[in-house]
């Protein structure tokens, strides 16, 4: 799959590109269907959200400020996807993956940019978007996803990258979005999460459809690479607070972010709390582990984290 490298820092951009013969027929029907669904499900953050219903004046200054920080952080998270999606696209072309993937990902990139915009607009509607975290140390938790680098590194398999990014991380995010829709009171905050979830359903389905086709073709060693990539994503990214601030290493700045979430949740403007999210997170991990066992016959071990009294 990957060419022999002459320099350890080489990326796939250093490899020659050969595009032809260019296949554009359907080679993964499920992914092609997702692409067509996506083109039919486009929406516009500027006009499809009832922004007037935010009614920021009904909240206290403190609540508005917390919610602005929360929605700004959501925008930064979505931006992470914007920065990784094109790198994966280059990888699909470089590896001559089934064409359905590259077609789907053009829309996927658009959808992630729409998510970033809608979160930005929500922060603006509440009084103003923040361009960066209050504390620089927290950037390590919200900015480290590592996918862009993995996507361009020919020594890391694409199957492992997609399994980690989509079947693990995006699935966990999906469960949290669904939970947020259930608990968020402000109709606009709820609508924003709903619209994002509508797109994320397809993003998740893409990962499973890709791996369903690829897993049977992998060697035992490559399958182990997939397993390790998933474990690394959970341990180094998710359990480091990428999606949930209460999972970040304990520090004054992560405590401040958790407090932002609590105030935002109390106001009904989005966000959740450690107590509410913990069972959702545990269930996500359990469901993911079982699904990977059933679909790919790989065993994801139990994880540990200082917030949990026992391995999960
Ligand atoms: Fe997204
Ligand atoms: Fe996504």
| Residue 136, pLDDT score | 65
Distance 170 CA to ligand 1 centre (A): 8
Structural domains of the chain, count = 1
Instruction: Compute the distance from residue 232 Cα to the ligand 2 centre, in Å.
Output: 19
Ligand approaching nearest to the C-alpha of 38: 2
* Contact criterion met (CB below 8 Å) for 160 and 229: yes
Position 46 in a domain: no
Nearest ligand (C-alpha, residue 192) = 1
Distance (angstroms) between ligand 1 centre and the Cα of 174 equals 9
Task: Calculate how far, in angstroms, residue 9's C-alpha sits from the geometric centre of ligand 1.
Answer: 30
293 C-alpha to center of ligand 1: Å?
Answer: 26
Q: Which residues fall inside 5 Å of ion ligand 2, going by CB?
A: 203
Q: State the distance from the centre of ligand 2 to the C-alpha of 61, rounded, in angstroms.
A: 32
Taking the model in full, what pTM does it have?
0.93
- According to the model, what pLDDT value does residue 4 have? 46
Q: Name the stretches of the chain with pLDDT < 50.
A: 1-5
Question: Is residue 288 domain-resident?
Answer: yes
In-domain check, residue 148: yes
CB 1 within 8 A of CB 157: yes
Asked if residue 312 belongs to a domain, the reply is: no
Residue 213 alpha carbon to ligand 2 centre in Å: 20
Residue 280 lies in a domain: yes
Residue at 22 is within a domain: no
Q: What is the 170 CA–ligand 2 centroid distance (Å)?
A: 6
Task: State residue 8's pLDDT score.
Answer: 56
Q: What local confidence, expressed as pLDDT, does residue 141 receive? A: 61
Expressed in angstroms and rounded, the spacing between residue 187 Cα and the centre of ligand 2 is 22
16, part of any domain: no
> ∠ CA 261-265-269 to the nearest 5 degrees?
105
CATH of residue 215's domain is 1.20.1260.10
Task: Look up the domain containing 76 and give its range.
Answer: 28-37+59-296
Q: Is residue 48 part of a domain?
A: no
């Amino acid at each position: 799959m990957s060419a022999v490298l002459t320099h350890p820092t080489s990326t796939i951009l250093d490899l020659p590109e050969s595009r032809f013969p260019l296949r554009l027929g359907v080679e993964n029907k499920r992914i092609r269907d997702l692409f067509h669904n996506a083109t039919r499900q486009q929406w516009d953050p500027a006009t499809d959200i009832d922004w007037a219903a935010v009614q920021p004046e009904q909240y206290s200054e403190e609540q508005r400020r917390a919610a602005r920080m929360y929605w700004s952080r959501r925008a930064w998270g979505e931006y992470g996807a914007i920065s990784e999606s094109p790198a994966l696209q280059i990888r699909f072309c470089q590896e001559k993956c089934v064409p359905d993937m590259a077609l789907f990902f053009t829309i996927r990139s658009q959808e992630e940019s729409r998510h970033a915009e809608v979160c930005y607009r929500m922060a603006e509607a509440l009084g103003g978007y923040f361009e960066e975290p209050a504390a620089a140390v927290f950037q390590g938790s919200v900015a480290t996803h590592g996918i862009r680098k993995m996507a361009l590194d020919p020594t890391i398999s694409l199957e492992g990258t997609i399994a980690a990014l989509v079947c693990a991380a995006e699935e966990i995010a999906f469960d949290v979005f669904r939970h947020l829709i259930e608990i968020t009171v402000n109709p606009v905050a709820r609508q924003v999460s709903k619209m994002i979830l509508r797109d994320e359903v397809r993003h998740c389905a893409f990962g499973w459809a890709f791996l369903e086709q690829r897993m049977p073709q992998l060697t035992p060693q490559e399958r182990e690479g997939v397993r390790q990539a998933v474990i690394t994503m959970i341990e180094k990214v998710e359990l480091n607070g990428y999606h949930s601030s209460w999972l970040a290493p304990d520090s004054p700045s992560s405590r401040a972010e958790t407090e932002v979430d609590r105030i935002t949740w109390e106001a009904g403007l989005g966000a959740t709390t450690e107590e509410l999210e913990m069972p959702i997170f545990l269930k996500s991990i359990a469901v993911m582990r079982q699904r990977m066992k059933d679909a790919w016959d790989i065993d994801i071990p139990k994880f540990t984290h200082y917030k949990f009294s026992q391995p999960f």
